[in-house]
Each structure stands twice: as structure tokens, then as C-alpha cells.
Amino acid sequence: MSFKEFTEKINRLKREKKAVILAHNYQLPEVQDIADYVGDSIELGRRAREEEEAKILVVSAVDFMAESAALLNPDKKVLLPSRYANCPMAEMLQIEDIKLWRRRYPGIPIVLYVNTHAEAKARCDVCCTSANAVEVVNALDSDTVIFGPDYNLAEYVQQNTDKKIIPIPERGFCLAHVLFVKEDILILKEKYPEALVLVHPECTLEVQQIADFIGSTSQILRYVKRTTKARKFIIGTEDGIIHRLQKENPGREFITAHKEAICPGMKINTLRLIYLSLREERYPITIPKPIAPKARRALEKMFEITS
């Protein structure tokens, strides 16, 4: 089917089933264009809670984001278009790791990035996103915080707090963001001296240190649109954001800092899979009952802190 045909069929199913499509900023361009809402992790979570009339939420992202939507919307059916849309970083933090650090540092709060599975969220004190990690950590009444699973985000938080940050696991990372290298960006700066360097805090500390701005995908989008009048930008985050940046800022130029910085899990979702997910109501997200209340509380506490 053509893009137009998929769009027509998806829109018809959305009306019939009272469904809403939520897509992450890293999704394929055509998926972003058909979505009812495009955003980052925290924006999708908030939006999911606001869709009071929707019966079905199709979360075109990766597994942990669909899980978060399901946790925050227990009365709605949440669908993930592909069962293979996984986040390797989330797999890096094992439950035994959390238990180990709980025993090693009794009484010390554990903050987990939303890039974790529900079972891990159920064992932490509060969740965070890349947009609010510093705010969440600074709000806790403790001089030491255990933080996981992204080591680079932990280092970013450490640079912006007086608290001691203990990363778990010791070297958790995003497969796409570790591809950005300081030397590559400096070469691009020589070619485009007027360009600003905007990077995600999942990049390494040495990349963060040469950036003009560090932020989540939503913060990068807002920075370009509202804060700066610059015309050229070197972008240090997953390639999917370029589509939205160009769409919302015509006449400005966006250069990716690494052409292969692509998240396979994010790119698995296609129009065809979204159509099939809606038509057959596959693949529904279910959270085990013993886990759901505790994991939901960790997310809700994040919203309380950042309200």
C-alpha cells in the first residue's frame, strides 16, 4: 500500500476504535507524520494520561515507553506495533544489580532512568528522564544517589549536582549515542564554524564538554525554536529527530554528528506495523500485577517532583 492508503486505513481504524497514536521523536519520518502526538519519553507519558476519551493507545516507540504508558493508563489498552522494538540499554540493568546495590548502600535512594523495564522501575525510589534527571536527583533528601542505567547521563547529572552519583551498572550506555565522538564533531565544527553543537546527555562526557547545548530531544527542539537565532546546527542525538527539526524550522540546516547514529529498535515500527497493530490489536502490553503498583508509583513520584 502507498503512504496515502496506509494513512486512510489507519485514520479509519483510529476513529472506529477510539485510538490515539503516540510516537517518539526518533521514529521514522512517515510515522511521526501520521501520529497524533510526537514527543520524548516524559511528553508521551504525560500525553497518554491526558487522552481521557481514548480506548487504545498505540505507542510507536520502544518497549519501555509502551510499558510506561500502560502503567499510567491501566484502564486503556496499550499496543506496541512491533514486539521487537526493544531498548538495549534497558536490558543492561539486571534486577540482581539493583538488589546488590540496595544491600551495599542501605537507605540510599535509587533513581532509574525511564529507559528501564517495569520490573526495574518497581525496585527504585523514583524514575527520571533525560529532561528532568537533575531536577529529580536534586529534590531527594540524600547526599548520595544510586543512578542507572545510563552511565553518561549519570555523569551529566554529576556535573550538575553537589550530590555523589553512583552509576549502576558501571557502564550502561545507549548504542546510538556512544557513536558520537569528540574528534568527529570538531572536524564538523571546522567545516561549519557558525554551527551550534547540540547534544543529548546520553553522549559521552567529552562530547558534552564541547557542546553549545545539552538536552533531551524535547529540550533540543525548544532550544532551536525559541532560544537561538542560529541557522546551522550539528546534532548529537539519534537521527530521527532531524525530520522534526527540519519540519518545524524551515530554512535552517541540521547536520547529524554521525550518520549511523540510528536506534534499530526505534526504526522497527513502520506504517504497516502500526496498521496491523490497530487492525488486530497487537501487541498489547501487560504488566504483572505484583509489579505494576510499585512501578507506577516510581513514575508518579517523578511527575510529583517535576510538576
Domain span including residue 212: 177-262
Q: Which residue among 156, 174, 192 closes a domain?
A: 174
Name the stretches of the chain with pLDDT < 50. Answer: none
**Within a domain: 208:** yes
Let me know whether 74 and 117 are in one domain.
Answer: no
Beta-carbon contacts of 3 under 8 Å, excluding residues fewer than 6 positions away, are 30, 271
Let me know whether 188 and 150 are in one domain.
Answer: no
**Within a domain: 294:** no
Q: What's residue 52's pLDDT?
A: 78
Beta-carbon contacts of 190 under 8 Å, excluding residues fewer than 6 positions away, are none
Let me know whether 107 and 161 are in one domain.
Answer: yes
**Within a domain: 286:** no
- DSSP letters of 126-181? EEE-TTTHHHHHHHSS-SEEEEES-HHHHHHHHHT-SSEEEESSTT---TTGGG--
Q: Which residue among 152, 174, 196 closes a domain?
A: 174
- DSSP tag of 284: B
Q: What is the dihedral of CA 222, 223, 224, 228, to 10 degrees?
A: 140
Q: What's residue 51's pLDDT?
A: 80
CATH number of residue 139's parent domain: 3.40.50.10800
What is the domain count for the chain?
3
**Within a domain: 290:** no
**Within a domain: 218:** yes
**Within a domain: 301:** no
Q: What's residue 48's pLDDT?
A: 81
**Within a domain: 303:** no
Other C-beta atoms within 10 Å of 5: how many? Answer: 11
CB–CB of 154/165 below 8 Å?
A: yes
Q: What's residue 47's pLDDT?
A: 86
Q: What's residue 43's pLDDT?
A: 85
Q: Which residue among 108, 141, 174 closes a domain?
A: 174
Let me know whether 41 and 73 are in one domain.
Answer: yes
Let me know whether 79 and 143 are in one domain.
Answer: no
Element (H, E) at 13: helix 3-17
Let me know whether 58 and 96 are in one domain.
Answer: no
Let me know whether 166 and 102 are in one domain.
Answer: yes
Distance CA 158, CA 246 (A): 32
Q: What's residue 4's pLDDT?
A: 81
In angstroms, the Cα distances linking 117 to 56, 75, 93 are 21, 20, 9
Let me know whether 93 and 161 are in one domain.
Answer: yes
Q: What does pTM read for this prediction? A: 0.94
Let me know whether 116 and 62 are in one domain.
Answer: no
How many CA atoms within 13 Å lie on the side-chain side of 93? Answer: 33
**Within a domain: 204:** yes
Per-residue pLDDT reduced to its tens digit, 203-246: 999 999 999 999 999 999 999 999 999 999 999 999 999 999 99
Q: What's residue 41's pLDDT?
A: 80
